[in-house]
Chain A
Amino acid sequence: MGATAEHIAFVVPRLADGSVVGGAETLLRKLAERASASGRQVTILTTCATSHYTWANELPPGRRQVGGLDVEFFPVDGDRDIETFLAVQNRISAGVRVSRDEEQDWLRHSVNSRALCSHLTDAGEQYDVIVTGPYLFGLVYHAAQVHPKKTLLVPCLHDEPFALLTSFKEMFHNVKGCMFNTEPERRLAVRLYGEPDQAQVISVVGMGLDDRIVDASAFAARHGIDAPYLLYSGRREPLKGTPILIDYLEAFRARNDIDLKLVMTGSGDIPIPPELQPHVIDVGFLSETEKFEAMAGAVAFCHPSVNESLGIVLLEAWLAGTPGLVHAHGEVLRYQCESSNGGLWFQIYPEFEEAVLLMLNQPETRRALGQAGRAYVLREYAWEAVEKRLLAALDAALQGA
């Protein structure tokens, strides 16, 4: 019988709480909650910021309980040079190779908290394992340097120019191990950084979901929607593929005599042509129950992003019994569709049109896809299964730490 990781620190740039949401933040909070519920002592170390645009210190620093979790808030460094950060970031985004010094400048002027890292330096011995992520933040990079041999990274890795930085390759090899969200994400890390070292703990953990049954007609009734609709949930921005969804809906409505709507939950502004605006229903942030109701009533849940490490909202849509429709170049989401038999994928507009018509015209097929997705989530993403993988990874990280 191996040793047990008793005290675990979770280091996250923001705490997912209320309107502060984000896939990675939610994932890390949920993992922390499960570790705590299984009897481990858990401390979340995070910043006082709530907005991922401004990173202003909006919450008071200090230690307090949040939703039954022990959370310590530290201020974000106020002396970051945004101009230097953006200058390097724009070059990396454009695929330009930058020097190691420039990488370090970029990380230094990213979101950081010297106070949080000082705490890890001074009090890090009290933690058996430090879990941190996502990989892209200066805070996570620097926190992983403090006690690398007891640090487990939850990278939420994407196939993007930032992932090619030498500094991140070093970080992946220096830490004790990684907890990936999906098998394609693990394969991506191997492709980018090479095989992990023998002593590293490499695990695919993911995130669990709680089952819930909702009324599939409640959302449409509440919002007066009497036409079939596609659903998108999450941030609306080019990186998430939402402009494709708008363009495709416009073409679909113009080419087919079908009153198809698009319901969007979440936040972010994207341009919508005036003539399409009555058919794009923006409901903003919804409660979890209402979000599930919206999912349950949709023809399909459409997730056109090609950069995801785990499609949590896609899993939620399956749990609601609704099939997914994803971009063929979104490796993780497509893998999830192939594994579950719960969703279809498109590469070009004509394939999107055919897939939507199929779901509209063949309700039995649509229902069967949704049910296959639901069965997959209940099997692979039940909390019991995820918790087992999580605790095994935490305990394995203790060996040779």
Chain B
Amino acid sequence: MNETVTIGAPGMNVAGIVAEIRASVERKRAEGAYADPRVARAEKSNLTNLQNDDDFFDFYMACLRQAFVVDINDFPIIERRPRLGKLLVALKRTIWNLLKFYTYRMWTQQNQINGLLLSALESSEQKHRTTVKALEARIAHLESERH
């Protein structure tokens, strides 16, 4: 559970509150509080709003690193219906074991592909960012010479 930011000032200064929230988020981010696939999934609709924002892209890529792996671990199998509960759990377990047997190899390969794609995307983004920065510096230099 996250600890929340505390605002002590009695008068309202929303810019100050937002600045405190951002500082708190930065601190927690450094501690890994948002290294969470659920955060990556939550940001998928926000990409279009912030596509020109370098900071957001870095944040999103960091989130993706947490989210690209398909979870193939076991999970607790439960049954809420009281009647035949034990039988249903046993049945579900059998079905899951069969499914796991057939799909494990596929998901492992998918995880490898996701990881490779993410690395390629990061590498491509880094390369283009460096190129764009070099071009911007060159344009600025040429413009300053011209004036």
Contacts and interface: CB of A to CB of B under 8 A. Distances in A.
A329 interface: yes
A295 interface: no
Interface in A224-247: 238, 241, 243-244, 246-247
Interface in B1-15: 1-2, 4-7, 10, 12-15
Contacts of B56: 347-348
Contact of A248 (B4, B25, B42): B42
B18 A372 contact: no
Interface residues of B, number: 35
A353 B2 contact: yes
A348 B2 contact: no
A262 to B, nearest CB: 14
A365 B38 contact: no
Helix, strand, loop or mixed for chain A's interface? helix
Given A344-B14, A357-B4, A350 B25 contact: yes
A342 B15 CA distance: 11
B14 A247 contact: no
Given A348-B59, A349-B43, A251 B38 contact: yes
A248 B38 CA distance: 9
Interface stretch (A133-141, A194-202, A253-261): A253-261
Contacts of B46: 244, 247, 348-349
Interface string A351-387: 1011101100110010011001000000000000000
Given A342-B14, A350-B39, A247 B22 contact: no
Contacts of A182: none
B49 A327 contact: yes
Given A368-B12, A372-B12, A358 B17 contact: yes
Interface stretch (B28-36, B91-99, B127-135): B28-36
A306 interface: yes
B103 interface: no
B49 A358 contact: no
B144 interface: no
Nearest to A327: B49
Nearest to A371: B12
User: Interface centre among A246, A327, A353, A362, by most B CB within 10 Å?
Assistant: A353
B17 A256 contact: no
Given A243-B45, A244-B45, A251-B39, A341 B13 contact: yes
Nearest to A248: B42
Closest 4 interchain pairs by CB? A251-B42, A341-B12, A243-B45, A357-B4
Given A256-B2, A348-B25, A358-B7, 13 more contacts: A238-B45, A247-B42, A248-B42, A250-B42, A341-B12, A342-B12, A347-B56, A349-B43, A353-B2, A354-B21, A361-B4, A365-B17, A369-B12
Interface of B: 1-2, 4-7, 10, 12-15, 17-18, 21-22, 24-25, 28-29, 33-34, 36, 38-39, 41-46, 49-50, 53, 56, 59
12 contacts: A341-B14, A344-B21, A348-B43, A350-B25, A350-B29, A351-B25, A354-B5, A354-B21, A355-B21, A368-B10, A369-B14, A372-B12
